[in-house]
């Protein structure tokens, strides 16, 4: 049988252990603030014009530990594409191109992160129109007083995701420049 002194000592030890971190980092998960974040892209048209656009509806979360990114998951609503031309947007959303009725989301799942003194890369799986591809993207993450900001830039090939315009395909550039700025409010 434990004496009262032993019980108090054990309870004190449990409290101290619960309050100390023993070097373990606190892991937190944050949701994307879609109103403050942007997902934009550019693609050439006719070799001289640049079409710019963005996705307006997306969601996701990321997990950090000691201000280091551990995980990132995101989903983009295909039907939220906006190139400031409703006719073009309708064409992009229909069955011929992005096929939003059968593939309503563009998904990204982080697989691993490379952080060296020379570069920071996110490695993950991107799914567009049912095609899943491994990609890598350079990133920067900064912590402000009220939020984290994750900036990602990459260039995607339309051919990798079977994004074909049919007879007009040759008029549209293969490379899509993507710029992503994700804001995650700190609770």
Convert the pLDDT of each residue in 157-170 to its tens digit.
999 998 887 777 77
What percent of the chain clears pLDDT 70, i.e. is strictly above it? 86
Least confident stretch, 36-45, 100-109, 131-140, 167-176: 167-176
Averaged pLDDT of the chain: 84
Of 12-16, 48-52, 137-141, which one has max mean pLDDT?
137-141
**CB-count burial class (<10 Å; 0-12, 13-18, 19+) for 120:** middle
C-beta separation of 90 from 96 below 8 A: no
Sign of CA dihedral 148, 149, 154, 157: positive
Lowest-confidence segment of 42-46, 90-94, 153-157 by average pLDDT:
42-46
Instruction: Give the range with max mean pLDDT: 12-16, 74-78, 162-166.
Output: 74-78
CA distances to 83, 146, 156 from 105, in Å: 18, 29, 17
In the predicted structure, residue 103 carries a pLDDT above the cut 90: yes
Render pLDDT for 34-44 as a digit per residue (tens, 0 to 9).
999 999 999 98
Domain-wise residue ranges, the chain: 25-185
95 or 141, which is more confident? 141
Question: Is the separation of the CB atoms in 121 and 114 below 8 Å?
Answer: yes
Give pLDDT, residue 25.
Answer: 59
Report, in this order, helix, strand and coil percent for the chain, each rounded to 5.
20, 50, 30
Burial tier of 20 (Cβ tally within 10 Å: 0-12, 13-18, 19+) = exposed
What sign does the CA torsion over 33, 118, 112, 79 have? positive
The CATH class of 25-185 is: mainly beta
pLDDT at 76: 97
Alpha carbon 140 to its chain's center: 12
More confident residue, 141 or 3: 141
pTM above 0.95, yes or no: no
């Amino acid at each position: 049988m434990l004496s009262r002194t032993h019980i108090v000592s054990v309870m004190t030890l449990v409290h101290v252990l619960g309050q100390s971190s023993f070097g373990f980092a606190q892991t937190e998960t944050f949701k994307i603030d879609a109103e403050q974040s942007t997902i934009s892209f550019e693609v050439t048209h006719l070799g001289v014009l640049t079409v710019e656009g963005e996705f307006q509806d997306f969601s996701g979360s990321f997990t950090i530990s000691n201000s280091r990114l551990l995980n990132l998951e995101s989903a983009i609503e295909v039907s939220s594409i906006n190139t400031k031309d409703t006719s073009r947007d309708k064409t992009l959303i229909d069955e011929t191109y992005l096929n939003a009725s059968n593939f309503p989301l563009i998904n990204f799942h982080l697989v691993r992160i490379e952080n060296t003194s020379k570069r920071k890369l996110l490695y993950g799986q991107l799914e567009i129109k049912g095609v899943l591809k491994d990609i890598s993207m350079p990133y920067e993450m900064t912590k402000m007083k009220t939020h984290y900001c994750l900036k990602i830039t990459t260039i995607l090939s339309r051919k990798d995701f079977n994004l074909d315009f049919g007879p007009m395909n040759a008029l549209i550039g293969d490379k899509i420049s993507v710029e992503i700025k994700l804001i995650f409010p700190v609770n």
